[in-house]
Structure 1
Amino acid sequence: MQKLIIKKKNKSSQRPLKNLATLILAAGQASRFGSAKQVAILNNEPMLSHSVSIARKNTPSNVHVVVGAYKNLVTEHLPQDVNIIENKYWQQGLGCSLATGIKLICDYYQREETRKQGSWHKKLLPRKVKSVATIDGVLILLADQVAITTQDIKRLITSWQAAPTRIHCAFYNSQCGVPAIFPASYFEQLQTLNQDVGAKRVLMNSESKRQISMPNAGIDIDTPEQLIQWQRAQNIETAHL
């Protein structure tokens, strides 16, 4: 079994301020799509690779992907520096996947110093991950928001860095949603989610959130027809695995 590789930290170095991890939700069955849309080919790569690429550019070595319905298939298409979290109860919906991801990310960072003494880390498939004592926030991304750009996420992160104790989320179609960054103070609340509402309930109940206009976040892929329409609009060659 491959071991988690942890870089040793210089004793004199300090932890970076406002350290951010990314959690990508890709555990669903995609019932409307009829198959694993996470790996439907778009622009010569699996659809999920779009979100993974953006995450790796903005939070290098701190990227986590929740898998479920198509665990093996999705895992095959992920780079080695991405950490994988399995949600065995993916049928319970997006909220369950989010709660599972946050819990295991917290477990990892909180127990890093004693990781070899316990079995908690076996819940994560063995990948290289960044050695960080704690994190200040988690960026939530979806697997099917194909129009999101690196610049969209950079604007969201910049906003969060200026006020890291607040939720910062995308605003599109007259509502707030993901992508969103949740500070550590919300982790406990996020771990209680268990339905298909995902983070929206937490976003709606937060009075101190900052909303970032992001029209691209309103474009997602739920059906093969939508994928074809997006391909035609962008003049991208599309196929399905």
Structure 2
Amino acid sequence: MSKHQLANRNESKTLVCILAAGASRRFGAPKQLAKLASGNLLQCSINTLAQVASQINGDLALVLGANEMQIKPHLKGHFILLSNLHWQSGMASSIVCAARYAEQHHYTHLLICLADQVALSATDYLTVLNASRCRRAAAYYQHRLAAPALFLAEDYAHLAGLTGDIGAKQLLRRHYRDGQLIACALPRASIDIDTQDQLISWQNKL
């Protein structure tokens, strides 16, 4: 699908949103600022997803919470900053921030992304976007549906009601069972950074 087709399918308007509000307790420091070959972890995610947003003529948003004041000075680029004041309650609170913003600003699609999925390229994210054909889509790896995941405007009310640290997995599974979601095989989505050992392992592969 061409850039023109992506941008104009059903006059869609997509918000690409990076969730990065966690406290990184298992990492022992703000993992958003962990050093990678091309910059800190979160900046690398911003750079990749800025390309994606540009390809679809969408907007890029970033949800921060824990350590927001420490992290912000290390970031650059154009993005919408969403502050999650309830980040301690779990990942769902960041999805709520994204969904409410998407609804308030009339986005037809919301792509939820995780900052620490370091192996994903712009092409991987576009695979999810291209697969949707006006339906939902999500990454499929390790026998589960997960982020990156593309939702429709009709999902925002449900997303805004999520609580805890489970996220939207139940909603993804339900839509898949109903034939309303396309599963995209993205094995590289299984690579994320939660601990210092995982960071060292990833750095050794570069």
Output the TM-score relative to the length of structure 2. Answer: 0.88
Secondary structure in 1 aligned to 2:11? coil
Q: Matched residue pairs, number?
A: 193
Q: Identify the residue that residue 100 of structure 1 maps to in structure 2.
A: 97
The residue that corresponds to 2:151 in the other structure is 182
Residue 16 of structure 1 and its aligned partner are, at CA, apart by 7.3
Say whether 1:191 aligns with 2:163: no
Return 5+ residue gaps in structure 1 as ranges: 1-13, 110-133, 235-241
Specify the structure having the higher radius of gyration (Cα): 1
Work out the percentage of aligned pairs sharing the same amino acid: 31
Structural mapping, 1:101-116, within 5 Å: 101-107=98-104, 109=105
Name the residue aligned to 1:82: 79
Displacement, 1:80?
Answer: 4.3
CA offsets per residue over residues 82-123 of structure 1, 9 Å max, x none?
A: 11111111000001111122113322x1xxxxxxxxxxxxxx
Pairwise mapping of residues 30-179 of structure 1 onto structure 2 (< 5 A)?
Answer: 30-60=24-54, 62-107=59-104, 109=105, 134-160=106-132, 162=133, 164=134, 166-179=135-148
- For 2:41, the aligned partner's letter is M
Match 2:205 to one of 218, 233, 241: 233
**d(CA) in 2 for partners of 1:176, 1:138:** 16
| 1:200 to partner: Cα distance | 1.2
What CA distance in whole angstroms lies between the structure 2 residues aligned with 1:100 and 1:21? 12
The letter for the 2-side match of 1:210 is I
- Poorly superposed stretches of 4+, deviation over 4 Å: none
Q: Is the 8 A contact 2:38 2:44 kept in 1?
A: no
Q: Is the 8 A contact 1:95 1:195 kept in 2?
A: yes
- Give the TM-score normalised by the residue count of structure 1: 0.76
Cα distance in structure 2, aligned partners of 1:176 and 1:84: 27
Instruction: Name whichever structure is richer in helix by fraction.
Output: 2
Structure 2 gap ranges (5+)? 1-7
One-letter amino acid of the counterpart of residue 194, structure 1 = T
Selected match of 2:194 from 222, 233, 237: 222
